[in-house]
Amino acid sequence: MRKKQILLLKIGVVVWVCVIYAFFLHKPAATSTQKSHDITEQLDKLEEELNKQSQFYSVLLNKLRTMHQQQQNLGDEAVLQDPIVESPLLDGPVLPVLLIACNRDAAVRRSLDLLLKYRPSQERFPIVVSQDCGHRPTREAIESYGEKVTLIQHPDLSDIEVPLKERKFKGYFLIARHYRWALNQMFQKFEHEAVIIVEDDLDIAPDFYEYFSATYPVLQADPTLWCVSAWNDNGKADLVDVKNGTGLLYRTDFFPGLGWMLTKELWEELGPKWPRSYWDDWVRAPEQRSDRACIRPEISRTRTFGKKGVSNGLFYEKHLKQIYLNDAYTSFTKMNLTYLMKDHYDLVFEKQVQASQVVTINDVKGDRLAKGGFYRLIYHTKDNFKKLAKSLGLMDDFKAGVPRTGYKGTITFFYRGLRIFLSPGNNWKGYNPSWS
């Protein structure tokens, strides 16, 4: 376009010169003196006209160059800006976030800052902060966010009766009481159909809301599922596929917590019998779990920074601190996640485990296996499992006989480029609650 404009300008100049030249050729003859004078006069006029034309075309050319540069800049900006598309997260069921808080004002600010930073819609994902303890600085920190969040305060700040031998665990009793009240508020007072629960010591991934929005329909549709968690207990960077695993999701028999979603239906089941303390271990008991599973990611969408708290940093330095937080946005809502439904998932999962090459711990740690392959380590006893888990950096404890991230007794993880199933033998009869 620019070349054509310059060419037209050049043609215009040439035409003008030709017109002036033709004028001289057709002018009537005159005497030599007069001719000399006329020629000088005409040359002066010609020079004057050419100067005027030169100035005119110079100004015009500069204007055209400016317009061209502006068009280029607009084009560059259009390339740099994200395309304007309607996000699927702007429409859909309301999934409120319930943040449980007490007396850590700095932690609350850190958590809320990320929850608000990544929240795509206030209408779809309202944030409710439930505060216990009556800690004024924490309350003021929450109130500083104005209408962006809703603050509710636990009205019962009375002391709680704790058995003498459990007095040092009093915090767990207070937390269980607070959870029960807060969840009753969410489901009974505010009448929500589902709730995403986080505590005040969690960082979240950029696709935190995307993850829960996409998995909610699966949770609703499959009665063998009872929660969705953003957490992988074995989610250290050297135990997950950081490069290619951002979209991988699994079923697990172990309740992970640490950023999880439950439905109103489940709360109507659990709420009336909610325990006085240790609610998370209570949830993991067979009587509550009832052979149901949760959805969990390969790469965690939450990470705890709560070294200080009721648990006094239990497992923090050795495990929790090292959990890798996903940083690559995954559009789960554009995926077909029906593969997580039990009938389909179990069929594929069992085939994968059985088809995997059986290897030894020495094979795995000795770098003898082809990268990208599927391999199986078999354990037969509790001690055997714990020895293998420790050797690989996995969490080795059990809750109600279920190992962390376990599904049908099998731990799925990624180690030095190998997909590994740490699984029981083929004669496995189910979880043994005594393995705790």
Q: Which of 3-12, 36-45, 69-78, 369-378 has the highest mean pLDDT?
A: 369-378
**What is the pLDDT averaged over residues 223-236?**
98
Above 80 in pLDDT, residue 429? yes
| Residue 306 pLDDT | 75
**What is the pLDDT averaged over residues 73-94?**
53
**What is the pLDDT averaged over residues 362-385?**
96
Cβ proximity of 419 and 298 under 8 Å: no
Above 80 in pLDDT, residue 16? no
Residues labelled catalytic:
280
Above 80 in pLDDT, residue 230? yes
**What is the pLDDT averaged over residues 167-187?**
97
What confidence tier does 4 reach under pLDDT thresholds 50, 70, 90? very low
| Residue 317 pLDDT | 79
Residue corresponding to tokens 């109507």: 268
Higher pLDDT, 89 or 178: 178
| Residue 310 pLDDT | 57
| Residue 362 pLDDT | 97
Above 50 in pLDDT, residue 248? yes
**What is the pLDDT averaged over residues 12-19?**
48
**What is the pLDDT averaged over residues 188-202?**
97
Above 90 in pLDDT, residue 138? yes
| Residue 11 pLDDT | 52
Cα atoms in the Cβ-side hemisphere of radius 13 Å centred on 101: 33
Q: What is the pTM of this model?
A: 0.79
pLDDT in tens, 270-280: 999 999 999 99
| Residue 66 pLDDT | 46
Q: Residue ranges of the alpha helices (H) in 322-396?
A: 342-355, 361-365, 382-392
| Residue 83 pLDDT | 33
| Residue 194 pLDDT | 98
374-379 β-sheet, strand order: 357-358, 374-379, 418-424, 411-415
| Residue 91 pLDDT | 84
Q: Which secondary structure element, helix H or strand E, spans residue 73, and what is its range?
A: helix 32-80
Least confident range of 53-62, 72-81, 350-359, 422-431: 72-81
Nearest residue to 204 (alpha-carbon basis) of 328, 114, 315: 114
What confidence tier does 265 reach under pLDDT thresholds 50, 70, 90? very high
pLDDT in tens, 291-347: 999 999 999 999 999 766 555 455 677 888 899 999 999 999 999 999 999 999 999
| Residue 41 pLDDT | 64
Nearest residue to 156 (alpha-carbon basis) of 137, 126, 130, 136: 130
Higher pLDDT, 369 or 28: 369
**What is the pLDDT averaged over residues 52-75?**
47
Least confident range of 20-24, 220-224, 245-249, 350-354: 20-24
Nearest residue to 417 (alpha-carbon basis) of 238, 234, 280, 158: 238
**What is the pLDDT averaged over residues 208-227?**
98
CA distance 360 to 420: 11
Q: Which secondary structure element, helix H or strand E, spans residue 229, and what is its range?
A: strand 225-229
| Residue 42 pLDDT | 58
Least confident range of 32-41, 165-174, 192-201, 213-222: 32-41
Above 60 in pLDDT, residue 75? no
Cα atoms in the Cβ-side hemisphere of radius 13 Å centred on 254: 27
